[in-house]
Structure 1
Amino acid sequence: MQGFLNLDKPFGWTSHDCVAKVRKLLRMKKVGHAGTLDPAATGVLPIALGKATRLLQYLPGDKAYKATIRFGVRTTTDDLEGEVISSQAVTGLNLEQIEAELGQFVGRIEQIPPSYSAIQVDGKRLYDLARQGVAVEAPMRTVVVSQIDILDWREGEYPELDLSIACGAGTYIRAIARDLGEALNIGGTLAGLQRTVSSGFSLDDSITITTLEAQVTDGSFVATLSDAPLEYLPSRTLAANDAKCWCQGQKIICEEQLLGENLRIYNENGIFLGVSKYLDGLLTPAMVFEPIS
């Protein structure tokens, strides 16, 4: 079996837990995932099966989330999983004040990842260093947030804001929660997170672990086609001889001007052969998915 599984990750599970469960259910060794989700987060976790694991590097970087920010609270992890650093009741905060600050978090922004994150500093994960009591500030990084919309606003002693956030790969929603709280001078932390879009997959089309178990039991599970999440890439169909040569590692002359550095390659029968680099009129094999003998 090969292809993708669009999994709705349950609360409390690590991404590794999900991969291990899928391996067991499908009785496969070669299983991988795209875009790690924290245990407290739920939602879209793309799972690659079989040879499709080789395509993970080519998946689109688009992400979208529904996030809940709780104001008046600061934690060590920038979410409710960490220790509370400070907690104070919030008075006088209104939606107009929040809207005035949200604009600075849209576009190309500078962001410091949470101290408890998978970012590596000198070859060590930040969360490992943090657990050892080693204080290391993560390096500033540039990320892209394309859109933020307010979904709901709940007043109270510790008011909460629900947001819809569309962003690029590498964006930490926990950092947005923390930094928005700091911009308002009251503190903030992430109280809930659901990923609704990831790497070309949508929550609307995802399935739960329970559904997967049922489908495996009754034999109805069908993996998403391996090239389905790559539709954002332009494609090229090769004639039989060119297709064979390309699959053997040879460069193929391409007379027409193509857009994009990476392309999907197909043979005349519509079979997905792999991903090619395009440069200076030549198609160079980058990853041969379906070789032709």
Structure 2
Amino acid sequence: MTAHNTPLDPQRRAERRAGLQAGLIFAAFASASVVVNALSINSELARGAAVFNPAQAWLLELTSLVVLLALVPAVIALDRRIPLALGWRVALPLHLIAALAFTTAHVWGMMLLRELLWPAVIGGSYTYFDLLVRDFIYEARKDFLTYATLVLVIRLARRIEDYRLELAEGHARAKGEALIVLKCGGRELRLPAAEIISAEAAGNYVEVSTPTGSHLARITLGGLETLLKEAGADPVRVHRSCLVARPAVREIIPGDSGDAVAVLSSGARIPVSRRYRSGLSGG
């Protein structure tokens, strides 16, 4: 197999998807901004007495948009080389330098486009800055915000793709190795599915009980239940926010109002709501 036909690894595919999604999101918002700005400019000019050419506002906005979109791949590639692991003391100055380069490329790029297109679309010649420093600062204020917004969109898209990649890897481990991979703070915990006795939702986390202790993992209760089933385990809900491994249930003690208490192999006593009791008893 040649190098050109070698498939990309999952991480690189996720990176490409994140870049594409970030570019599309940015392009959608930037295009909407162009339409709003051009319509607003023409609306304001229409209220005055002077004669104006509506195409002028569209040309100004569209040339800016074209250059911005052309710079998106460069920003995506650059941001990949300034990871969060560098820390803000290192990353912030690098991003400030990158934002200045972004502004410079945007300003001169749109100016050159306008110089080329202005005679054909508007007529006459396009005038560059009247006051170079003042006008560049005016553009830089907007471009620094645009750069920061683009970087935030890129980072968000990468986080989403990383999360999807983690989910896919977790499902693959559960199906192929009967392992449940859990994120516990900065640790990655790999538990055989058969070792998980019970789990209880705790806000955005789940407290997972095993014979060797409890672990607070970043996962939903429903997500953990799915992984356990894929791993061949037999989890069963005993409460809206709690599940147990059916083989770990040693005794079911009925209550007075249709609810019950499940006594597990660990000795833990787990309340069983009336709604879920039939599922526990009917295994």
TM-score past 0.5 threshold = no
Whose helix fraction is larger, Structure 1's or Structure 2's?
A: 2
Quick check: which has more Rg, 1 or 2? Answer: 2
TM-score, normalising length: structure 1: 0.23
Question: Whose RCO is larger (CA < 8 A, sep 6+)?
Answer: 1
TM-score, normalising length: structure 2: 0.23
